[in-house]
Structure 1
Amino acid sequence: MTTSLGPMAPGDIRTRAQIRQEFGGSPQGGICPSDEKKSVNLYSDPSIGEHVGYYDGWLAEEDELGPVFEYTGAGLTGDQTFDGPFGMGNRSILRHAEQGRKLRVFIRAGTIKGTATATHRYVGTFNLDQRLPYVWRKVRGENGEVRSVIVFRLRPDGAFKSSAADTIPAAKKTTVEFVQFQPITASMLNSGPATQGALSLPSQRQGAKSSARKRTTNASTEGVFVVSEAFNTEMSLRAATAASIAVRREAALTKSYRAHLEAAGHTVGAFQIRVEGLSSTLRTDLYDATSHVLYEAKGSSSREDVRMAIGQLLDYSRYVKTDAHPHEPRQAILLPAAPDPDIRVLLERHQIGLVHQLSDGQFTGPDFTAPS
């Protein structure tokens, strides 16, 4: 890799002082925003992250939009936050588009020979994933401390350079843990909603790829029960795509139905599932822990969306088990309006419940308010 001091390109190695000269930011810390350079510099050091219970890096599996780089937020001890002085760095990532700044990722490469001066490899420029910008996860640090961390999902925006060493390792055992709800409010973010600017569609396929992108062999399955922060936050995802419109509708629908279940005294959340041997994480839409019902929400009532929801329910349900409910959950699809009669027949055939919203905002469907 080159160490030239011309304009920085993905794969180049620099000291932090050299990075600051081009992209600004502070001389220390992992998340370093710069108003002047319109940049948020994200530094990752695998030797530190692994000791405190997390990995930054590429998911080994790409989705239909391409690669995802996961970056864990600021805070080495205790629960991470978006609130107050300890959440400043995390807020700068979440609001980078609104504030007109690019995310730039740097990974610790080593030191200058004969000195203690650290060097960092430039990976490239990123934006937050507009479909799922971040998730909460529970990790166990070096001292056994169990804490909640914020994992940002980054999409390349232009050229990037990946390395086999940057791929997140596959899960090695099955774990299911409850993650405490972490509400995110506008007041925590100091002004307005979480993001008011567009989370632009990435140009992630422009980068050079390494052999690390190949699929890994199966090793384990890991499921984590979480309560989704997305249900409690208004996030504007203003992109001129049908996909982002569907995301908004689905999020609003899920949030409304979550409020309906909570009004009935139910505990609700979602599951995060790490499939054995894969570094990516599956995530359900809504789980009613009181009645043990798994919901898959869709932003439209089309046949195509219902088919997808059925497949997701069949996939996820085998993992959704708890000590209180050791069997698979009942299944239901949550839609914004009534589907065609033929779709109802299809769902009945597979014993999948149908809940849909009425014109007055109320919901109709099977009564799942009683425990199974």
Structure 2
Amino acid sequence: MSIAFTWPIRTGEVFQHIRDITTLIGGGNSQSGITRPHGWRDVLVFSNPSAAERNGYADREGLQENGDYWYAAQGKQGDQQIDKRSNKSLLDTRNNGGAIRLFIYQVDSGYHYVGPFGLSEIPYIQTNEHPRLYAFCLTPQGADTRLLSKLTHSDKQLNTLHNTVRCEDWKPKSTLFAEIPEHSYESKRAQQLEHIQEQAFGEWLKQQGKSVLDLHLRVEGREITTDLFDSTDAEIIEAKSSNSRGHVRMAIGQVLDYVHNFNNRKTQVTDSLPPIAKPAILLPNEPEPDLTALCASLKIKLYIPAGISTEGFRELTKS
């Protein structure tokens, strides 16, 4: 049975030791990075980015491009058991409604409470095969995301990486099923379909004489990479493997986010890129008519394959 309680710690509060936190809330193991006080549904998670860097698991712990926070699963020797002991207590929050309370350690101050998180739609990813290693994917659910960025990047990094861009020659992603990572946020099959379509569209743009680039946007300490950037027509293109409503809605949010940050970059006056970019979405087929109308109202171009007997692509909407 779970005990009803009121969470006593405000977002942003700082504690010198884990035991100060477990003493305040009346339970929990102060020697563990994951702990659930007896009778609670909520789980406390303590992350130490500097220790992750020092001990070689920084690739499994930290802030991700999509805003999730990865937390390395427990288990130091051999294959990690994702459904055992403290790891299981994190997985249990999917069904018992418990919050994941994230604290991030800073060497000069202590443990900062960032706020409540939940497991992402894909709750964990496998990052290594031999031995088998995992990372939990934590999604903010009322947490202070600005504090999260600040705690995971230095002020210098935030200042350097905020609202800047970098470009490089476009390189098609691998379309080989075996080379697509297991920990992709979409299935390997969906990723493969998206990569195939993206490659065909990029090659088609180049055949039209367009300059195609890989565009990397640096925002709040994170680098966000777009699918395609047609610098000739100043279009940022988001590709999707499906024309379902969910995929189109996601693409709309992503591409408008990219365009907003590109158009408000610090180097807009000094770099050689177009000053303003426009949004576009690449789909494998026509979406429902109301979604086409929605994209048109937002001045988002829609591209789809020209047809079975015709090579290339065509526009459904014009920005």
TM-score by length of 1: 0.43
Q: Counting helix residues as a fraction of each chain, which structure ranks higher? A: 2
